[in-house]
A and B are shown apart, each in its own frame.
Chain A
């Protein structure tokens, strides 16, 4: 049932701006890990998008790649879907090495791109029919499946219209229908809920779960933690081209020291204040935050600690300006690993 995916030590260095396939978010979003500008005064474009990514995605699971824009999610998907050639390392879909047998790999996968890339010269039905034909389906099978999918995605009444006039949500639905047309074993969705209203997002989740119930593997990239949390069986958190944590959402959240994160902001941070906080009951870790006057406290509880924190600060002559308590979440986990918010 289903097939798994394996990434072995993937590295991708762009030496020119990447073509559309690996690009996320409209503009060139890969964040430069290293941007060499030397080489005898000659300007050289070099961006390390993936830096030794190893992953194992199990057959039949919904796997999420969570990370901020430019983390390397789309590049990972690009390599797995034959659209981006890795600089080093290997990617397997089932037992197939994607870059040795790309044509056979393409037969196994369906891809929903980040931005709709529907064939604007065709109607919705024709898009599905031609897609089926590219995947060698017979005429009768194509007609049957396209009818089913149009019905399922509530596009039947617009089926014979050109897709140019479709709304963003309709295009997204049609993109997913197209990716499912040839009944792929693995479905890739790159940032599927970007720009969708909450209602359509729930519909999308249902569709993904239904497809997964048929035993198919689903790989999804997202920068919404709720999506990763709700939808994914397991996930990997990726930042600056590296996997910084992976596991089920529950496992990952349990690795956050203490669980709660209390973000504090003072007018100034006297010496020893961090050490004082660490002495408070339930506190497991204290860190100076990136911004001036900021301190992040990881602890087993949230609210009850505020009183002792304020007292300790006053004793050192520091005034508390702002406080924010975050419950255990993937956001806190991401913060813990990177010191940055997912939305930064």
Chain B
């Protein structure tokens, strides 16, 4: 099936080829999956020697760094495309950079007295995301046509700042967990595991919506463009179910989250191929990096999936508490 779809994506017109770029994309996907596997297994030995909340916090830090890095690169590129016309446009990449730094420091167990600063960085990222949402919505609204498809496609992407808000939220959750009593970790008054699972599911849904909108703009011209609107929604659905059902749902959810995480990296490889398919390809990078599919966008899926995996870890370590959710 993959080869079939790869062939089809290159032969929409009567003349086609596709094996080489297809292979490049598949190698990229494999690399992504490999990296992820390496990361997952490398966590195990150390994990047994520390509190499960700390382990989850570190995973969330990783997730938040990835999300933040994606936002930093994506907003940096997209706002360059917008010529940084408004000085506020510098805020997104700058705050994201701060957020990434904070998340990475969190992951390497810096002194706990830095916690407040890290926490503040995460919260400010979250707030910047929300303010950005407002800016982007205003940008769309003021264009001729208002909330039309044209402006949703080509105006400031309404969903993009949402990713920064998510990065901040995940990062803040990490700080929160690290400070929490391992026996009774809660988020917003709910047991941490299920609450985080639900939050992640919502975040995934938003990310799917953004990818769906952009891939619709690209007319799903390549069948592989359906992947980010089919795999992550399943993961999000399972995650939601796991939040309510508990341990039994965890193994299947883990598989789909891992697939989503791998997809995020593979997406960047696909997008690199997409850039090459624009006129002039990589040689014309000064245009095609801007007008081709955004390289930094897909790893947001990986970030969200990692947060989901962390939620599952928490739930495994705190069995039974899922019953509290929603009551």
Do A and B truly interact? no
A residues with a Cβ closer than 8 A to B are none
B residues at A contact (CB < 8 Å): none
